[in-house]
Structures are given as structure tokens and as C-alpha cells.
Structure 1
Amino acid sequence: MTDSGLDKEEFDEELDVNGNMSFLEHLEEFRWTLARSVGAFLLGAILVACFLGQVSDFLQYPLRVAYGSAEVAEQQLVTRNPMGVFSVFIQIVFLGGFTLSLPFMLYFLGRFIAPGLNEREKRILIPSCFAAFVLFIAGVAFSFFAVLPLTLSFCVRLNNYFHFTLWWTATDYFSMVVWFSIALGGFFQFPLITVILVVIGVVTVEQLKRFRRFVAVAIMVFAALLTPGGDPISLSIMSVPMYLLYELAILIGARFERAKRDKELAETDDL
């Protein structure tokens, strides 16, 4: 019997109801979360591999824009060694598998951390997971349809200016497309992280407003590094949407802070 009058079996059941788990049980649940995430990724990768030709053609869109002709672009990609095509295969399958499985991985992660959250945190968990996926896709799309075409077009024009013959290795091209897209998709999580920090009280909206200048400069530097053209149009296309995301995070964070203050005032009035 325990001190509360429950025997061991009843006490264990009470722990299960309250969601309390031992360290080993948490470790086991984490192992299953990883296994499910890996399984979702593998299924996504297999699906992409089944349509590898179509996906490969689609990923050559920035190169076609840079040359202004699909036929010319198709003649540019070469491989320097017999194993280069395997590197291309792996990178295409990785990007496609990761993108397709991301919603499921976020869901599995949410299920894992949900028992340790309070009611308020649980209410923002599902919207946060959905927002993370949408922002990642937005970042990948922005990279693929805006930044990469501009960057590659500049490289083509610059090589033509110096009368250089430009040969693209398939490995380097697909590596740039894959990792650049994933990096920008990850960067687009920045406003979501900012809002979450405001919601849980780590930072305030006033602090975010004071850091506006520093954030603007950091974004401009980041955009300049990613866009070798350095022209105002390329920098604007790259940096303006990023800064607007920061302003959006401030607006959303302000709404959360206002709702929190109204709730606290209501509770004070009740007392």
C-alpha cells in the first residue's frame, strides 16, 4: 500500500492516467518516435525514387531559367566520374523524402513532447507543427523559384561576359539545389521560433522591436552572401521577404501578449 491508500497496481494505473512515465519509458517512446520518423522518411524516399526522372527534370527548373532554354540547359550538366550519378540520386531522394515525410515527423515529435506540456502549450503545439511545415515549404519554394534562378542567371551572365565556357557537374548542381533549399527552408522557421519565444515569455515584443535594426542588417548580410550578384534587385528579392517575416512575428507576438494581459486582468477583476 502507498501512503495515499492505493496499492501498487492502482498506483501504477494512476501514473498512466496522469501521463507520468519513468526515464526508461520515455527512452522507449523516444526510440519509437525516431523509428516512426525514419520509417516515414524511407517511405517518402522510396516514393521519390519511383518518380526519379520527373523529379530530376523538375529540379532543373532554375538552370532552365538561367539559360532561358530547356534544350541548352540539358546540355550543360555533366558528370566527371562514373559514381557521380549515385551522388545525384542520393541527394534527390534525400530532399524529396525529407520534404514528403516532414509533416509526419512533426506529428510524431508533437506526440512525444505533448505529455510534458501544460494545457496552454498543448494548444499551440498543433498550430506550431503546421506552421513549421508551411514555412519550410515556403522557404524551399522561395529558394527554388526566386533565389536560385537569380543566382544562376548571374553566374551564367558573368561567365559569358568573360567568354568562359561554363560546365556544370550534375553533382555540384543538385547538391547546391538540395542544400540551399533545405537551408532556406530552415531559415524560414525563424519567425515561428520568435513567436514561440514570445508566447512562453523568453522575450518580449518590445525587445524584438528594439532589435529591428540589427535583424535588418543581419538579413542584408545573409542575403548578400547567398546572392553573388549583389545588385539591388537580387538583394531586395532575398532580404525583403525575410524581414517581413520578422515583422509578422512581431505582430503575432503582440497579439499573444495582448491576449495574455487581458486574461490576467480578467482574473484580477474576478478576485
Structure 2
Amino acid sequence: MSEGKDMSFFGHIGELRGHLIRSIIAIVIASFAVGYNINWIMDHVFFGPTRNDFPTFKIVNHFSRMLLGSDSIELPKEFPVRVQRLYQQFNVMIAVSIFGGLVIAFPFIVWELWRFIGPALHPNERKNSIFIINSVWILFVMGVMCGYFLILPFAVNFGVIFKISDIIIPLYDLSDYTALFLQVVIGMGVVFLFPILIYFLTIVGILNPKFMKKYRRHAVVLIMVVAAIITPADVLSMIMAALPLLILYEVSIIMCHYTFKKLQKREAGLQV
């Protein structure tokens, strides 16, 4: 939107199109950068959680040696990955490149969104919107990091060590691992935006802190369901995913309480 101008509906659409085009260009450029370095990214980032020298495993084993005297997590030295289709590696490269480009360009995308809606806001609303816009990309990146460093390693560990027979020789499918990777990492990135959703629902009057406190137990059940959807079947990964979501819910209650009181003061000032 252009500040100080009354634009028609199609003018707004044209302005929005410009922001969307720039956002798409940013994703494409970032995706090409990821694709150009795909070999290094696959070896060191994508398959990082399958190796014993992954930071999460090193930290867990460090404390395990202090408390138990031995490592509690030890993955096999090899993680054999197979491909069954001719273009499977190419498809995975495209998926990883687009995902990596989206994560890298996400702050720019959010900034473009703020540039579109910012001029239409009042000065006070604009100050608050800067905080919200920054919170969006920060929470998303935090969710991605939480999924990558906290949940994915334990999900991989469970899938590797679980055996029903020593006769079975493990050969892991590339597409299955890719699906697990994206499911956990993207899922946590999206779910971490929950406080932003609560903020807007409070603004429009749908939620209030009393409601959120009253139905806290129901929210815990829902959080466990969401954690089960994001993670594989093992209980440990589900618990690891549910813990940050429970903390986010408590943070959302605080945010809802603060926003609700602020709205009440504003309404009281208008009535006077």
C-alpha cells in the first residue's frame, strides 16, 4: 500500500502482487543457493541427525557419561539410504532446495507483508505491528530449529535402534527420510506460530484469558494430538514435541491476558 493515497480495490491487488512477486523471487534465489550447495547441505545438514557427531547426540552423551558413565545414544556408523526410482534423488533435491529457500527467505517474506499492511495502520498500531511481524519470523525459525535439533534426532534414533528381528537388514528409503525430515521441521515451524494466532483471535474478541485458562486441560490433549501428528509413532519424540508446545500455550495465555487488558483500557478510554 502507498501511504497517503486512497487506492482502489484493484490498486491494492496490484500493490499486493508486487510484494508477492518480490517474495517469490527471494524464495527462488535462496532455493538456487541451496541447490548449488546441495551436496554439502545433504551431507552435513540433511543427514546430520543420522550421525553420532550430531550436536544433540554429543550433548546428550556428555551428560550421560557424567551421570551414568557411558553413552546413552549410539547410532550405527553407517546409515544406508537407497533410491528405488530414477528421479528420486532429483525430486528430493528440489524439495530440499525449496524448503531451504523458504526458510532462508522467510524473514524477507514477512517484511514484505509488513510493507503492504503497514501504511494502512495508525502510528500506534504500526509500532505494535513491528513487534508482531518480527515475532512471526523469529517464532517460525525457532520452531524449525526446535524440530531439527530437538525432535528429529530422537525420532531418527528410535527408528534406527528399534528392531523386531536381527534377520532384518535395514535399508532406509530416501523419500521416507525426506518426508520425516520435512514433516517434523516444517510442522514445528508452523506450530510455533500459535502465539501469533492467539494474539489475533484476542484482538477480534474470539478469545480471552479466562477461556484459555478454563480449557487448559482440553488444550493439553489437543497439543498431544498435534505432537503425535508432527512426529513419528514413538512416544519420546511426541513428548519432546509436546513440551515446547505446552510452554508456548502458557506464553500465549500471558499474551492473551496482556492484549485483553490493553483492549479493555482502550474501550474504557473511548467510552469516556
**TM-score, normalised on structure 1?**
0.82
Partner in structure 2 of residue 249 of structure 1: 252
**Are 2:9 and 1:23 aligned?**
yes
2: CA distance, partners of 1:258 / 1:29: 35
The change in CA–CA distance for 1:242 and 1:17 in structure 2 (over 3 A counts) is: closer
Which residue is 1:95 aligned to?
Answer: 99
Which residue of the partner structure matches residue 39 of structure 1?
Answer: 25
| SS of residue in 2 equivalent to 1:202 | coil
User: Deviation at 1:259?
Assistant: 3.4
In structure 2, what is the equivalent of residue 63 of structure 1?
Answer: 50
Distance change in 2, residues 1:17/1:120 (3 Å): closer
List aligned pairs for 1:61-140, cutoff 5 A.
61-65=48-52, 68-69=74-75, 71-73=77-79, 76-140=80-144
Residue 48 in structure 1 maps to residue 54 in structure 2: no
CA offset digits 1:168-189 (Å, max 9, x no partner): 1223212321243112211111
Task: Name the aligned partner's letter for residue 81 of structure 1.
Answer: R
Residues 162 and 204 (structure 1 numbering): CA distance in 2 closer, same or farther, change over 3 Å?
Answer: farther
Equivalent-residue separation in structure 1 for 2:138 and 2:165 (angstroms) = 39
C-alpha separation in 1, matches of 2:32 and 2:90: 15
8 Å Cα contact 1:144-1:181 kept in structure 2: yes
Which of these residues, 168, 186, 194, is aligned with residue 190 of structure 2?
Answer: 186
**Is the contact between residue 159 and residue 166 of structure 1 (CA under 8 Å) also seen in structure 2?**
no
Aligned mates of 1:53, 1:129 — CA distance in 2: 34
Paired letter, 1:32: G
Corresponding residue number in structure 2 for 1:5: none
Q: Specify whether residues 17 and 266 from structure 1 end up closer, same or farther in structure 2 by C-alpha distance, changes over 3 A only.
A: closer
Is the 1:223–1:239 Cα contact (8 Å) retained in structure 2?
A: yes
SS in 1 for 2:78: helix
Shift of 1:165: 1.7
- In 1, Cα distance between the equivalents of 2:5 and 2:166? 67
User: Can you give the 5+ residue segments of structure 1 that lack an aligned partner in the other structure?
Assistant: 1-15
Distance 1:56 1:101 in 2: 19
What is the TM-score when the length of structure 2 is the normalising length?
0.82
Instruction: Give CA deviations for 1:46-87 in whole Å, capped at 9, x if unaligned.
Output: 2212222221121112222598458412xx112123311101
Q: Is the 8 A contact 2:158 2:234 kept in 1?
A: yes
Matches within 5 A, 1:134-213: 134-159=138-163, 161=165, 163-213=167-217
Higher helix proportion: 1
Give the structure with higher Rg (CA).
1
Question: What RMSD in Å do the two structures reach over aligned CA positions?
Answer: 2.4
Distance change >3 Å, CA 144–CA 163, structure 1 → 2: farther
> What is the aligned residue count?
250
Tell me the secondary structure at the aligned position of residue 16 of structure 2.
Answer: helix
Tell me, in whole angstroms, the C-alpha distance in 2 between the residues paired with 1:173 and 1:23: 45
Could you say which residue in structure 2 is the equivalent of 1:220? Answer: 224
Specify the code of the residue in structure 1 equivalent to 2:240.
I
Q: Which amino acid aligns with 2:250?
A: E
